[in-house]
Amino acid sequence: MAELLSTVFLPLSLAIIMLGMGMTLTLDDFKRILVYPKSVLLGLTNQLILLPIIAFAITVLFKMEALMAIGLMVLAVSPGGPTSNLITHTCKGNIALSVTLTAIASFITILTIPLILSKTLDYFGSTSDVVIKLPVVDTILQVMVITVIPISIGMLIKKFKPKFSQRMEKPMRTASAILFILVLVAVIAANSATIARGLKEVGLVTLVLNLATMGLGYLTSRLFKLDFKSTISITIESGIQNGTLAFVIVSTILLNTEMGIPIAAYSIWMFITGGILMWVLGRRKHIA
């Protein structure tokens, strides 16, 4: 049941939500990002450089045992996932920026994950002869099938059926919130034992990392004077990681499911903080 949930229901549901997001976007939304790339560069810097540095500092500060530290680093070097786009959509953030950051980071991390994790394994004294080879094709397919293609179809619908797209905007945002709750329940149900252990062993550490990264996203966005919608997107992208990919890495590449404990704990915290943002920001009528 859990496997059916993760391999069929969740990807299909996310793809449908991405279709709805696409119906709120135009090519001009993405053109503005290319013309003014500051927000993209800031978001990528936060996620690909500063996030792993913060995570490593936390492992040292809290004197985490090797397996837990490696698991936390695996999560930190993973890109954002479709869930971050879903949360941004409900929070009325800059969806085009969120989608752009997720897509670019997913491709860049194909190169950065093996590099950073090999150094991580060496530092924490784990087996350094492990060959870290990511599921490149699967990663590309996930980005294309769950994100890029549905959003592109949604944009075409908006272009040729603008009135229909406008009518669907509020129902799709409501559906996003409902899906978010279902995803949270599904994650807890499928990984209850691991999550319980994770919160007990590394609950505080993972909460600190989540708050620190989201706080970093907000503060740097304000520092560089980004508009509030872009600030929302970067805050969410900085703190919402692709836990599924992180689980794949520790279970099938590093062959150690115990490393998944901090990933499970962090996943719960990011759903909670993401849910709070959705509740607070999603009810606002206007965001500049």
pLDDT digits (tens, 9 = 90+) for 80-126: 877 888 888 888 899 889 988 888 888 888 888 888 888 888 888 76
Across the chain, mean pLDDT equals 82
Residue 264: is it exposed, middle or buried by C-beta count within 10 angstroms (0-12/13-18/19+)?
Answer: buried
How many other C-beta atoms are found inside a 10 Å radius of the C-beta of residue 133? Answer: 8
- List of domains in the chain: 2-282 (1.20.1530.20)
* CB-facing half-sphere around the CA of 131: CA atoms within 13 A: 2
What is the average per-residue pLDDT within 35-49?
Answer: 90
- Provide the residue type at 201 as one letter: E
Query: Do 264 and 205 touch, CB atoms closer than 8 A?
Result: no
What is the tens place of the pLDDT at every residue in 205-258? Answer: 999 999 999 999 999 999 999 999 999 999 999 998 888 778 878 877 777 788
pTM: 0.80
To 5 degrees, how large is the angle CA 61–CA 231–CA 13?
Answer: 90
CA pair distance 129, 133, nearest whole angstrom = 12
CA 167/CA 185 separation, integer angstroms: 29
